[in-house]
Amino acid sequence: MSASNPPHIPSRALILLAVLTLLWGTNWPLFPYATREVSVWTFRAIGVTLAGTLLLAVARARGLSLAIPRAAWPTIVTATSFYLVLWNIASTYAAILIPSGQAAVLGFTMPLWSALISWAVLGERLTRRIVCAVALGAAAVTLLMVPSFEAYAQAPLGMGLGLLAGLGWAIGTLILKRSGIAVSAMVLTGWQLLICAVPTTIGALLLGDWQWFMPSTMSIAVILYIAVVPMAIGNLCWFSIVGLLPANVAGLSAILVPVVAMIAGAILHAEPLGALQWLAMACSVGALSLVLLKPAPPQPALP
């Protein structure tokens, strides 16, 4: 592979990326509805438990083995602790301290962390296209953060936790990518979600809702939707993409998710969608194009 050419991208990865971007991008504006009557901890605990159970049940129904090699468990638990556990806890508290939309943008600095860690730790080559893609991705994140610098100054811990969530996601993904565990993506995702359910449920019991009550039909419907669609199907798409692409490209492939989240937020909550946001979208599209699209072959010179 030349220094400027991107790696071969399987068509399946492109399809999964499109599905992932839609599912995760439209997910964030639904959080206020999901946590209107229950605590964030309770919502997260229910979501990961249902999602993990559903994926393992579907895997079993398809005849897949649910067994995980004993030697792989420490790696899976470590990766899950960084990605799903740290992501859920840090991003949740970030969303409490600063507006949830800005917390999402900070969390999705993950592609930038992933590309840099892949180069520094895993020794993956930073081609010119990857460097340009990282620069465009950083520009997109910065543009999306500009309107919220005042909020960050008033709650620096929220900003720090948002960035920590993105870093945790990157580290967990890279641990799995480097381990090369030969397990079905559906089975692996299901077990990771159930591993995450343990500390999240403990947090819900200690910090969540203390009294039993029945939420409204709307709250139950939103929680079930998020558990089944963005959490179960979305994470399955993500781990499938991680298995198909180099770590730095897989990370950068998620760069469009906060863009879709901002469009969805503008539609559902009338959140601002002005020149800065559109410019950030253009940078995101450019970054994604650099890592996913092959340049046209040189044309022969005319006689």
Query: Whole-angstrom Cα distance, residue 37 to residue 41?
Result: 12
Q: Model's pTM, two decimal places?
A: 0.79
Closest to 262 (Cα-Cα) out of 242, 284, 241: 284
Letter string b/e over residues 113-125, b meaning 16 or more CB atoms within 10 A of that residue's CB: bbbebbbeeeebe
- Written as tens digits, the pLDDT of the chain (303 aa) is 444 454 567 778 888 888 888 888 888 778 778 888 888 888 889 999 999 999 999 999 999 999 999 999 999 999 999 988 898 888 877 777 776 666 777 787 787 787 788 777 777 777 787 788 888 878 877 787 777 677 666 677 877 888 899 899 889 988 887 777 888 889 999 999 999 999 999 988 888 776 777 888 998 999 999 999 999 999 888 888 887 877 666 666 677 777 777 777 777 767 667 787 788 778 877 877 776 665 544 444 444
In angstroms, rounded to a whole number, what is the distance separating the alpha carbons of residues 136 and 61? Answer: 43
Residue 184 corresponds to which tokens in the numbers above? 């079905």
CA distance 287 to 137: 6
**Read out DSSP for 235-276?**
HHHHHHHHHHS-HHHHHHTTTTHHHHHHHHHHHHH-----HH
- Rounded Cα distance, 245 and 3, in Å: 17
Q: Any idea where the domains of the chain sit in the sequence?
A: 18-292
